[in-house]
Structure 1
Amino acid sequence: MEKIVATGLINEFQNCTQIQYSGQLHTQSAKGVKWTFYYRLGRIVWVTEGNHPFRRWRRLVAQYCPNIEIEKMQLFSQDFSRDYWDYCLLENLYEKQQIKREQVNLIVENTLAELLFDLAQQANFSSISCERSQKVILEMPMSFTSADTSLKQMRESWKNWSEAGLANFSPNLAPILIRLELLQNQVSSGVYKNFVTLINGKYTLRELALKMKQNVLPVTRSLLPYILKGTIELVEISDLPLPMIEVKNQSINSKAETSNIPLVVCIDDSSQVCQLMERILKPLGMRFIQIQDALQALSILIEHKPDIIFLDLIMPVVNGYEICAQLRRISLFANTPIIILTGSDGLLDRVRAKVVGSIGFMTKPIVTDKVMDVIKKYVPVSAKI
């Protein structure tokens, strides 16, 4: 990975815009903090970072989607299985018509603004490594953001933050009172009470600003005199735990019942296709596994023994024909229904698909009725719910 300074990093963003790059841009600070920017045709559609992803997601959803009761959301481990789970949660809320596209745009733009600011602060003090990955994850993003506009806003935000004397303080730090008696002599009883309630080391500066319904800059600037006097200290805090519902160990009987629920596997390098299949099948009570890396398909299939397999025809490294032929050579999958997915509907493709052992052929885009027709036709009656 090439080492670049802040100016070089900005040039990298500008290059991605100019060449209309689609893929991922990975950056990492000398301290090991990582950011991943997801690009589509030269525009940033999402960004992730490893320090406080759930704190940030929760705070921005609370700010821009006040109707969403995060504490009541039922989330399981699979909801956090992707690196960009935070984007997937937004997508799910949008598809359920619980939030609007305008709200999604605001969250995307503010997530990008915050993480660009954090990246700029890191780059101001240490080198940043950078590399591109051509793998496209978000094929049909909900929001597009101009990198040039975001970079301009980042420069302005960093300039204002630095000029306020805050360059050494991250807005992800949490203020905590360490000299209560000194503070009590400096402020009124009302202010002191607010300080004790809010400045407790549990909230980052950004979270504190939201609670106070202000921008993080004036809030932090107002705390600076107390920080310099040693009355308040800024400390690092961990991310909030992900609100996953724990699934207890099942009894032998419940395991047997689960094994009777149809398991559908979709092998497709397109996350869009996999997610669409999951949205069709999960509400019906079916188990579902998506496999985007074809090289891992065989080991996963052997472990889980699905009732039916949807298999993409065109994938990197190995194609659907090769995987299908390989599966038919394994006795475990001799009779497993394998449905080929393809963007074309040529006679030659259909013939070849039959030759390698598939029993069905489905053209893209995926349509709910067609998927259900295939499920009804090929999933054993004894396995149906």
Structure 2
Amino acid sequence: MIHPELMVSNNLLNEFKTCTQLQYSGKLDISTTKGHKWTFYYRLGRIVWGTGGTHPFRRWRRYMAQYCPEIDVDRIHLRGEDVEMDYWDYRLLEILHEKQKIKREQINGIVESTLSELLFDLAQQANFTTMTFERSQSVILETPMSFTSADMSLRLMQDSWKSWSDAGLANFSPDSSPVLRRTEQLQQQVSGAIYKNFVASMNGKYTLRDLAFKMKQSVLPITRSLLPYILKGIIELIEVPDLPLRITEIKKEPVVPKAAVPVGPLIACVDDSPQVCQMLEQILIPNKYRFVKIQDPLQALPILIENKPDLIFLDLVMPVASGYEICAQLRRVSVFANTPIVILTGSDGLLDRVRAKVVGSTDFISKPVSSEKVLAVVKKYVQVSAQNGAGLENT
């Protein structure tokens, strides 16, 4: 049985559970008083990616070698800005997938292994330092390539940490590197072949996780087998630096001036019907409004956050995510606290209107839409919204 101080922190577990219950979309930043930082990216309450930790580059190299052996990481040309963003590793996977260099199944494997590693490190650090949590919707990954069940991930985190601490390894980090300190003593205790393997691998170049990958084993049995030598001082575990990817200076192409962009108020429409989107576009564009259509409800939140429209038309009945759910999510984002949200519905019932008001909608339009109804509601709300937006820009 694990002692209470070796259990996963309740504060840590509760934070992850809260994000799931809220169907949170955004990022969760976790930091410790010792300077460790992690970031987990959520979409509708599910974890889609995680970054940070002690060795983000070693980790990315290791899982690329495991799941995408056909890719030579050191031959990838990277600019400085490619690795400056917090989720550079995820962005590189996106690029490789877009170029059809890797498959979605490979990405799924990398995502699951990365999250397992990060969650284990969190469980370990939570036992030795205080953690702080901060949620932010400044970044929402637009097209998640893998969705991970947070509940399953938390169970695996608890199980892996229990196994590690039960083996007497609670004070040892799998990111540390074994180094031989007493070679003569080791030579007396093991065979010649094993001794040569120890000398070749216990040289401070590889972490315990690196060695486990090279030996095609789990890090737990590898570390457990080294524990007797560590306790005798024959092997010492030391901290080693990360191995950043190679940055190549790429000559930038001359910037071509862009054509003038219309400056009218921006109207968004979230509706899975292409006919409705097209009709609204045909009404609004000639009247000097800008227009953005979103037919995939799962893409609605990140696209709206990126474009910050002055008014949003929102269909009530859509697959996967309903207009009620999207409206409630939008109202939780500060930038949309006062944005007019007009519900589009084919059933103009009292119950629909009441429920839409509860989740924060501004007004209702029944289908089929007409030019008169659309322009009337836009003129009613957009002028105020646009003025408010201008005031925010100037502060």
Q: TM-score range by the shorter chain?
A: 0.5 to 0.7
What residue in structure 2 maps to residue 85 of structure 1? 88
What residue in structure 1 maps to residue 103 of structure 2? 100
How far residue 243 of structure 1 moved from its aligned partner, in angstroms, is: 1.2
Distance 2:127 2:262 in 1: 45
Larger radius of gyration: 2
Native 8 Å contact 2:177 2:205 kept in 1 = yes
How far residue 72 of structure 1 moved from its aligned partner, in angstroms, is: 1.8
Distance 2:262 2:197 in 1: 59
Match of 1:110 among 113, 124, 141: 113
Match of 1:208 among 197, 206, 211: 211
- TM-score by length of structure 1 reads 0.67
Match of 1:181 among 174, 184, 193: 184
What residue in structure 1 maps to residue 31 of structure 2? 28
Native 8 Å contact 1:65 1:99 kept in 2 = yes
Identity of aligned residues (%): 60
Q: 1:73 is matched by which residue type in structure 2?
A: I
Matched, 1:242 2:245: yes
Matched, 1:345 2:290: no
Distance 2:66 2:101 in 1: 15
Distance 1:27 1:245 in 2: 31
Match of 2:228 among 200, 225, 228: 225
Q: 2:62 is matched by which residue type in structure 1?
A: R
Distance 1:90 1:310 in 2: 33
Native 8 Å contact 1:311 1:320 kept in 2 = no
What do the CA deviations read for 1:47-68 (whole angstroms, capped 9, x no partner)? 1114211100000010111111
Native 8 Å contact 2:53 2:121 kept in 1 = no
What residue in structure 1 maps to residue 127 of structure 2? 124
Structure 2 counterpart SS, 1:125:
coil
- Cα–Cα, structure 1 residues 80 and 313, in superposed 2: closer, same or farther, change >3 Å? farther
Distance 2:199 2:111 in 1: 33
What residue in structure 2 maps to residue 6 of structure 1? 9
- TM-score by length of structure 2 reads 0.65
Native 8 Å contact 1:6 1:128 kept in 2 = no
How far residue 85 of structure 1 moved from its aligned partner, in angstroms, is: 0.5
Distance 1:67 1:311 in 2: 43
Native 8 Å contact 2:30 2:134 kept in 1 = yes
Match of 1:72 among 50, 70, 75: 75
How far residue 241 of structure 1 moved from its aligned partner, in angstroms, is: 2.3
Distance 2:18 2:263 in 1: 33
- Cα–Cα, structure 1 residues 46 and 350, in superposed 2: closer, same or farther, change >3 Å? farther
Distance 1:174 1:154 in 2: 22
What residue in structure 1 maps to residue 142 of structure 2? 139
How far residue 363 of structure 1 moved from its aligned partner, in angstroms, is: 4.9
Q: 2:258 is matched by which residue type in structure 1?
A: I
Distance 2:55 2:258 in 1: 39
What residue in structure 2 maps to residue 262 of structure 1? 255
Q: 2:281 is matched by which residue type in structure 1?
A: D
What residue in structure 2 maps to residue 61 of structure 1? 64
What do the CA deviations read for 1:328-375 (whole angstroms, capped 9, x no partner)? xxxxxxxxxxxxxxx96264455446xxxxxxx675579xxxxxxxxx
Match of 2:170 among 167, 174, 178: 167
Query: After TM superposition, what 4+ stretches of structure 1 lie above 3 angstroms from structure 2?
Result: 309-314, 346-353, 361-366
Gaps of 5+ in 1: 251-257, 264-306, 322-342, 354-360, 367-385
